[in-house]
C-alpha cells in the first residue's frame, strides 16, 4: 500500500529465533457512502458500510488506510469508524497492507430485515 513505514525496518526476532512483526492486526468497520460504483466489489452509489482487515503500525494508521483505500474503491468514510485489534487470518508482510475488503449497502440490510419479517420463525439449516 502507499503507507510505507518510516525509516529502516529491522526484522524483530523472538527469543526462539522466529521473526516477529512490527505491525498489529486490526479489523475496521466504516460508515459512509459509495460515490462511484465499483464493479469488482458490486457496489452502487448510496449509503454503505465498508469492512476491512489490515496489518498496520497502529490504530491511527489503520484508520488512515481504510479512508485512503476506500477512496480508491469509490467509497467515502463520512460516519462512524470502528477499529478493533483482532487475530489475523493471514500473516504480516514487510509493509502495512489491507485485505478482505467488504461492502454492505444499507439497502441490502433493509432487504434482509424485510425478508426475515416475511419468513416469520423460519429455521435455518
Q: Are 96 and 25 in contact (CB under 8 A)?
A: no
Cell numbers describing residue 115: 425478508
Residue pLDDT, tens place only, 1-53:
444 333 333 344 444 344 456 999 999 999 999 999 999 999 999 999 999 99
The helix (H) or strand (E) run that includes residue 101 is strand 97-105
Nearest to 75 by CA among 29, 24, 26: 29
85: helix, strand or coil: strand
Instruction: Indicate if the pLDDT at residue 75 is higher than 50.
Output: yes
**Residue-level pLDDT at 107:** 83
Nearest to 42 by CA among 100, 103, 112: 103
Give the single-character DSSP code of 63: H
67: helix, strand or coil: helix
Average pLDDT of the residues in 80-99: 96
Average pLDDT of the residues in 70-96: 96
**What percentage of the chain has pLDDT greater than the value 90?**
66
Amino acid at each position: 500500500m502507499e503507507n510505507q513505514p518510516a525509516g529502516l525496518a529491522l526484522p524483530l526476532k523472538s527469543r526462539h529465533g522466529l521473526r516477529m512483526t512490527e505491525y498489529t492486526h486490526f479489523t475496521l468497520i466504516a460508515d459512509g457512502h459509495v460515490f462511484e460504483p465499483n464493479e469488482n466489489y458490486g457496489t452502487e452509489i448510496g449509503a454503505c458500510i465498508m469492512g476491512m482487515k489490515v496489518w498496520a503500525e497502529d490504530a491511527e494508521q489503520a484508520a488512515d488506510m481504510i479512508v485512503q483505500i476506500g477512496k480508491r474503491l469509490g467509497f467515502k468514510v463520512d460516519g462512524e469508524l470502528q477499529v478493533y485489534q483482532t487475530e489475523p487470518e493471514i500473516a504480516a508482510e514487510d509493509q502495512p497492507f489491507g485485505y478482505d475488503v467488504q461492502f454492505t449497502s444499507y439497502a441490502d440490510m433493509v432487504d434482509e430485515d424485510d425478508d426475515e419479517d416475511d419468513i416469520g420463525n423460519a429455521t435455518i439449516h
